Amino acid sequence: MADWIGQTEDIVYSGRIKVPYEWSVGETGSRFLVALRDEKKILGTFCGRCQMVFVPPRKVCGRCFNADMEWRELGPQGTLITYTVPRYKESIHPLSHPFGYGIILLDGATTGLVHLLGGFDGGGLQTGIRVEAVFREQRKGDILDIMYFKPV
């Protein structure tokens, strides 16, 4: 091995990738987000063959490929299937502590919705408790129009 190996200062180059995107939400997703924004309603889609109500709504049932899905209004209450309360701070967190993440089985749905939990003092969460959607005042047509789900 050459004698200079291990004798050199290790240079580290710092960079950052920041690239804008314009993601099309599609017709099915757009109807879901418009209903959140304009009516404070959570919509899902129902596959009659599988007897499944999906939220977020699917254009096509991924299980049986049925494209004939029906719209259903869900919630705004539901049951907490699982949850966690992060204790670290990260720039991507949309709420300040204490907040949680949960999977909520909305009334009328058969799949869970992953979302934020808020409006609690850090404790009191438990699998199986009832939670309710709290909507943002100034809604913009994105998933954060539901600010969080809070224990009922």
Partner 1 sequence: MERVAIIGVGQTKYERRKKGETFSDMVYEVTVKALEDAGLTIQDIDNVVTVSNDFWDGRTISSMAVQDACGSRHKDISTVEGDGLFGAFYGAMRILSGSFSTTLVVAHNKCSQSRMNLITNAMFDPIYSRSLGLDAITSAAMQARAYMDTFGVTEEQCARVSVKNHRNAMDNPLAQLPMEITVKHVMESRVLSDPIKLLDASPITDGAAAVILANERAAQKARGRPVWIRGMGHCCDAYHLGDRDLARSPALRKAAQKAYSMAGILDPKAELQTIELYDAFSYMELMWLEGLGICEEGGAGRLTDSGFTAPDGPLPVNRSGGCLSAHPVVVAGLTRLIEASLQVRNDAGARQVPDCRTALAHGINGPCGQSHCVMVVGR
CA dihedral 70, 76, 56, 147 (to 10 degrees): 150
Binding of partner 1 by 65 (CB under 8 A): no
Binding of partner 1 by 21 (CB under 8 A): yes
Of 50, 81, 129, 134, the one binding partner 1 (CB under 8 A) is: 81
Name the token pair of 76.
């705004």
Site string for partner 1, 107-126 (x = CB under 8 A): ----xxxxxx----------
Of 34, 50, 60, 85, the one binding partner 1 (CB under 8 A) is: 85
In sequence order, which residues have a C-beta less than 8 Å from that of residue 117 and are 6 or more positions away? 80, 83, 85, 99, 100, 101, 102, 125, 131, 148, 149, 150, 151
Binding of partner 1 by 25 (CB under 8 A): yes
Binding of partner 1 by 141 (CB under 8 A): no
Of 59, 93, 97, 130, the one binding partner 1 (CB under 8 A) is: 93
Q: Give Cα separations from 82 to 33, 60, 111, 148 (angstroms).
A: 24, 26, 13, 15
Binding of partner 1 by 83 (CB under 8 A): yes
Give me the sheet containing 42-47, strands edge to edge: 52-54, 42-47, 70-74
Instruction: For residue 131, give the nearest of 150, 114, 145, 117 by alpha carbon.
Output: 150
Could you tell me the smallest distance in angstroms from the CB atom of residue 58 to partner 1? 9
Q: What are the residues binding partner 1 (CB under 8 A)?
A: 8, 10, 12, 15, 17, 21, 23, 25, 29, 54-56, 62, 81-88, 90-94, 101-103, 111-116, 127, 142-144
